[in-house]
Structure 1
């Protein structure tokens, strides 16, 4: 794996900070949410950012699905506060049953 540049390290810190805050809020507000994880290619940032809310089962996922737009807006707003504009917020946050290693 290639070493990250100073700019990419700043981007990584920014994404980790936002992910930690969103995950804490999500786990408090959404029953059945296990964790928040993300995937990003820093040389394509912010377009490559994909944040995932992982759920414990299909029932919890189905119950949370109607609120996905609210969480996409929260992610977009949190990134905007850090100076990062997500052009299409719907592409950057998904609800899933899969974990980061699946």
Structure 2
């Protein structure tokens, strides 16, 4: 699903998590706000998530670690806070620059 640079606003709908056969989710370079819905963990075939350059806030849901096929997660340039869930340690690529994350 490629919805890049379309000036989208609003939140990411939790119902997106029902697209269980989706392999790529590209929502970057928009003006999406709100939090990352934990329902995205329902995207069991997902390999790539790119939601960078938005206005996403809150924490990264640990439920995303349940995505066994996920290889890349791009969330940089958002207003995310908190710590990085340890469940994401298996990713090939994790982009979180320019966020307000902490932890060790």
TM-score normalised by length of structure 1? 0.23
Where is the strand percentage greater, Structure 1 or Structure 2?
2
Larger RCO: Structure 1 or Structure 2 (Cα < 8 Å, ≥ 6 residues apart)? 1
TM-score normalised by length of structure 2? 0.23
**Higher CA-based Rg:** 1
